[in-house]
A = this chain, B = another copy of it.
Amino acid sequence: MYDGIVQDLIDELGRLPGVGPKSAQRIAFHIIQTESFDVDRLATILQTVRERVRFCIICGNIGEEERCAICRDPRRVPTAICVVEEAKDVVAIERTREYRGLYHVLGGALNPMQGIGPDQLRVAQLMTRLQDPTVEEVIIATDPNVEGEATATYLIRSLLPLGVRVSRLASGLPVGGDLEFADEMTLGRAFEGRRTVER
B-binding residues in A (CB < 8 A):
1-6, 8-9, 12-13, 15-19, 22-23, 25-32, 37, 39-50, 52-53, 62-64, 68-69, 86-88, 91, 94-95, 180-181
Contacts and interface: CB of A to CB of B under 8 A. Distances in A.
A13 B43 CA distance: 11
B39 A6 contact: no
B17 A49 contact: no
Given A32-B53, A32-B62, A86-B29, A5 B48 contact: yes
A41 B30 CA distance: 19
Contacts of A88: 25-26, 29
A49 B32 contact: yes
Contacts of A15: 37
A66 B53 CA distance: 41
A33 to B, nearest CB: 8
A43 to B, nearest CB: 4
Given A5-B53, A32-B49, A39-B47, 12 more contacts: A1-B91, A3-B68, A8-B49, A12-B42, A13-B42, A16-B27, A18-B26, A22-B180, A29-B86, A32-B50, A32-B53, A43-B43
